[in-house]
Amino acid sequence: MPKRVAVITTLYKYLSHAQHMGDRFLVGYPHEGEWHKPDVQIVSLYTDQKPAGDPASGGDQSYVRAKEFGFTVYNTIAEALRCGTGKLAVDAVMIIGEHGDYPKNEKGQVLYPRYEFFKQCVEVFEKDGRAVPVYNDKHLSYSFEKAKWMVDQSKRLKFPMLAGSSLPVTWRLPDLELPLNCEIEDALMVGVGGSDPMDYHALEAMQCMIERRKGGETGIRRVQLIQGDAVWQSNRYSKQLLTAALSRSDSPQGKTLLDGRTQDLVGNNELPKLVKNPAAYFIEHNDGLKTTLLMLDGAVHDYCFAAKVKGMPGYPSTQFFLSPVPNVTYSACLVSKIEEMFVTGKAPYPVERTLIVSGALEACLTSKLQGGKVLETPELKVKYRAPKESQHART
């Protein structure tokens, strides 16, 4: 019997996360050189917002998908989980609270109702006396307190939980995995795009690399977010690591756009000209590791990582490959992990990764709001171990 899944989402329209992830359970997806048809059946859908328009080009797709693939759209989350019966009637839940028209808070975070959706699922689990695996797309919540509550519920009710971005599981160029228990001396990530969606992806990409260090993840003790010229003047991050990360980029801007030339963006001092609003996210872990995320919108278009690792020559570095639209095959990499949890009942990697990143992001944005203040973060004492096996696309 295929696993029965409820999809709980903010929005189901072309190229929304719900569409490209939900559809993969309906029409299959490319996986390890095959068109994989998951042994999973979407049986119910809750969609919070249903934009008007042609379903093929931006209008709501809930009903056209339901009709074609034989599932039901419900008006509430509880009904979707119970499939219109009196009891929980699904084997797994996929929460996709991304896209849609929601307000922002003073930190610039979009208030996607992931916590609220999750909470309603937990209420059904409690009332019906049974809990099933839950995947939560992207970070858990804009608020660490809420995110922590979500993870605590999965422990309390003992249901498997997976969350996060597709960056940790996509292809890497090159196919770099840091050795388990390596000693990381320094790590740096370059990201682009707006806050808070894209800085979150970049932080989680860095986290999936550094969590493999000796002793595992130990939590975060302080953070700071600085912006503007202070980023260029800072000596808190290594220029060699920045050079290494940028050496993995396929998309330098500026003079490359003019005449196609390659560029050493650190060496040629072009970065300050290209990046109007640079931001540096400084994160200090409880074991002393200091990491940096540089958001360099305008310099490049891709997400690249570099580290200094004891015993490894040079600067191990890679690009997290965001494959082209519309296929966005990186989301197939993520869906295969979600399917794995739905089928086996085990999360392939710890939800604590996403929990700590949710917290780090919120704290950094608080620091930004407070003018770049250094913030102590005793609440981010999230400890966990990375999975032994690599989880990114490599086969």
| Nearer to other proteins (CB atom), residue 301 or residue 385 | 301
**Closest by CA position to 355, among listed 153, 188, 156:** 153
Q: Which residues here bind other proteins, judged by CB under 8 A?
A: 14-15, 19-20, 23-24, 27-35, 55-57, 61, 64, 171, 173-175, 243-244, 246-253, 256-264, 266-267, 301-302, 306, 314-317, 321, 323-329, 332, 393-395
Residue 24 beta carbon to other proteins: minimum distance, rounded to whole angstroms: 7
Contact 122, 81 (CB under 8 A): no
Nearer to other proteins, 96 or 328 (CB): 328
Distance (Å, whole) CA 97 – CA 9 = 5
252/350 with CB nearer other proteins: 252
- Measured from the CB atom, the residue of 273 and 301 that comes closer to other proteins is 301
How distant, in Å, are the alpha carbons of 27, 160, 213, 294 from that of 218? 41, 22, 10, 22
Q: Closer CB to other proteins, residue 19 or residue 367?
A: 19
Could you tell me if 332 and 171 are in contact, meaning their C-beta atoms sit under 8 angstroms apart? Answer: no
Write down the least CB distance from residue 387 to other proteins, Å: 19
Q: Which is nearer to other proteins, 281 or 330 (CB)?
A: 330
How many distinct helices (H) and strands (E) make up the chain?
12, 16
Taking the C-alpha atoms of residue 281 and residue 295, their distance in angstroms, rounded to an integer, is: 8
146 CB burial (10 A radius; 0-12, 13-18, 19+): middle
Residue nearer to other proteins on the CB measure, 324 or 371:
324
DSSP, residue by residue, 14-56: TTSHHHHHHHHHHH-EEETTEEE--SEEEEEEEEEE---S-GG
Q: Residues with Cβ < 8 Å from 68, sequence gap 6 or more?
A: 26
Give the nearest distance from C-beta 35 to other proteins in angstroms.
5
| Minimum separation from the CB atom of position 234 to other proteins (A) | 21
What lies within 8 Å, CB to CB, of 67 at 6+ separation is none
Q: Looking at residue 86, what DSSP letter applies?
A: S
**Are 173 and 321 contacting, i.e. CB atoms less than 8 angstroms apart?**
yes
